[in-house]
Structure 1
Amino acid sequence: MGGVKMETYPKYYIEIIIYLIRILFLIKGINYLIIEDFYFALISFSSIVLTFFSFIYFKLFKKTLDNKLNLSVVIFIFISLYLGTLSGFYKFTWWDTMLHFVSGIILGFFSIDILQNLIKDKNLLKKLPKKFIFLYIISFVALGCVLWEIYEFAIDSLLGLDMQGSSFTGVTDTMIDLIAGTLGGMLTAFTNYHKISESINSN
């Protein structure tokens, strides 16, 4: 099959998708440089750097890169920044809420992985109540959503933008974003409720 082993297909395809996304951001960035729109050029090139987030994260914890989690992060960056910011998809009223919901799901999975890395003692992990882990996931995701809103507020204040939509929605958009992100985290917690202990104990 073209010199590619069957078992390498999933990873092989994931790498192709990630590289294609980086190329799309690169093309966008170059186009914005040509028309001297340096703000969007900066977003384009910064997005390429962001696609390495998972790689850096797993390197810091000295773990094997989780290809599926890595792909989910890169795709989120693509739909958020390439489609949303650079291609104008934020004109759809449901787009921002959908992104925050998806981000909540991704943050939920990262919270589980971080817990596994921070608590090395497997015996201690086994003693953690599932309800505690459930609340931990939701709290982690909620904190992530709050930090994102702080980031948007800071950018709006420093650059005179309106990422939070405060000029026409007041705090409504911010609250919807926080709720959507938290619901995404709750979905991750609910769907993994009976798998969390097994997942932790197997690592």
Structure 2
Amino acid sequence: MAKKKDDAFDQAYSRGAKVKRFFTIIVFILTVITCIQLFFIHDSKQFNRQVFSLIQYIAFFLILNSPKLLKKYHLEVPVEVYIVVTIFAFLGLVLGDGLNFYGRIHWWDSLLHFASGVILSFVAMWMIQMLIGRHERHQLLDTVLIYIFVASFSLAAGAFWELCEYTTDDIFMTNNQQYMASTRGTIITKNDVPLVGHAALTDTMKDLALDLAGALVVIAYECSKKGIQKKIKKKKSGETSKMSE
């Protein structure tokens, strides 16, 4: 019975299944390579780095299989949301943390925070459509409130993520909030030097600003899309009235 449900999921979400298969192969290969390397590493710093990468790969596998888990609680994840979240998790967990893109590429963290603002805003729009209906008509005030909710949702999720980063850094002595002056990577050592004063707050404030910027891009996109739809509707109604005359 469980296998039939899994097959039905793969058929209904064929695109999601292809994405899942593609990333599963890549991350499985990385996981195997990392496990093999653990047996040949004698340096404690490198060993900790590889263990940390392994944890990120496991976390990514959990995200890959999250729709099936949510389905048990009667929650359906749209295939578009699943694909976008999976790609984002791959960029953050696998490339960012696992392969240390955060340390190697200085703008990688900023790119992902901007992208998260965009993704979270589309998720917020999806939530609104589920609550009030896709074809519901709204007044101008309702539209403004929707956009305020979208921006607030993106900022709130970004702030919650910063709290998670702070907690993780405090417990595991990592550098998720990039408060170190000597490295931008997630793993730190006793020799790394922290930022002092106002400079230590820069990364958090920049991340929240990028979350908001991503939300504003989505809001601008939705506004322009509605404007185009109104023009098309107005043009069609004009053509219809001419034909009736």
The TM-score, its normalising length taken from structure 1, stands at 0.79
Match of 1:170? 200
Cα 1:54–1:170 shift into 2, 3 Å: farther
Match of 2:195? none
After TM superposition, the structure 1 stretch with the greater mean CA deviation from structure 2, 65-74 or 76-85, is 65-74
Match of 2:153? 140
Q: How does 1:26-105 map to 2 (within 5 A)?
A: 26-36=28-38, 37-53=50-66, 62-63=75-76, 65-90=77-102, 91-105=104-118
Larger radius of gyration: 2
> Residue 101 of structure 1 contacts residue 180 of structure 1 at CA under 8 Å; is this kept in 2?
yes
Cα 1:133–1:58 shift into 2, 3 Å: farther
185, 189, 192: which is aligned to 2:219?
189
Q: Secondary structure at the match of 1:170?
A: helix
- Cα distance in structure 1, aligned partners of 2:202 and 2:217: 22
Question: Is residue 110 of structure 2 the alignment partner of residue 110 of structure 1?
Answer: no
Q: Percent of pairs identical after alignment?
A: 24
Q: Secondary structure at the match of 1:171?
A: helix
Question: Is residue 9 of structure 2 the alignment partner of residue 24 of structure 1?
Answer: no
- Cα distance in structure 1, aligned partners of 2:138 and 2:69: 28
Q: Which runs of 5+ in 2 are unaligned?
A: 1-12, 39-49, 182-198, 230-245
Match of 2:166? 153
Cα 1:57–1:104 shift into 2, 3 Å: farther
- Cα distance in structure 2, aligned partners of 1:146 and 1:122: 32
Q: Secondary structure at the match of 1:137?
A: helix
After TM superposition, the structure 1 stretch with the greater mean CA deviation from structure 2, 146-155 or 32-41, is 32-41
> Residue 168 of structure 2 contacts residue 174 of structure 2 at CA under 8 Å; is this kept in 1?
yes
> Residue 56 of structure 2 contacts residue 94 of structure 2 at CA under 8 Å; is this kept in 1?
no
> C-alpha displacement at 1:22, in angstroms?
2.0
Q: Which amino acid aligns with 1:92?
A: I
Q: Secondary structure at the match of 2:146?
A: helix
> Residue 130 of structure 1 contacts residue 193 of structure 1 at CA under 8 Å; is this kept in 2?
no
Considering only aligned residues, what root-mean-square deviation do their CA atoms show, in Å?
A: 3.0
Cα 1:126–1:166 shift into 2, 3 Å: same
Higher relative contact order (CA 8 A, sep 6+): 1
> C-alpha displacement at 1:120, in angstroms?
6.5
> C-alpha displacement at 1:146, in angstroms?
0.4
> Residue 156 of structure 1 contacts residue 162 of structure 1 at CA under 8 Å; is this kept in 2?
yes
* 1:35-62 C-alpha deviation (Å, 9 max, x unpaired): 3343321211111111344565677564
> C-alpha displacement at 1:26, in angstroms?
2.2
Aligned residues: 187
The TM-score, its normalising length taken from structure 2, stands at 0.66
Q: Which runs of 5+ in 1 are unaligned?
A: 1-10, 199-203
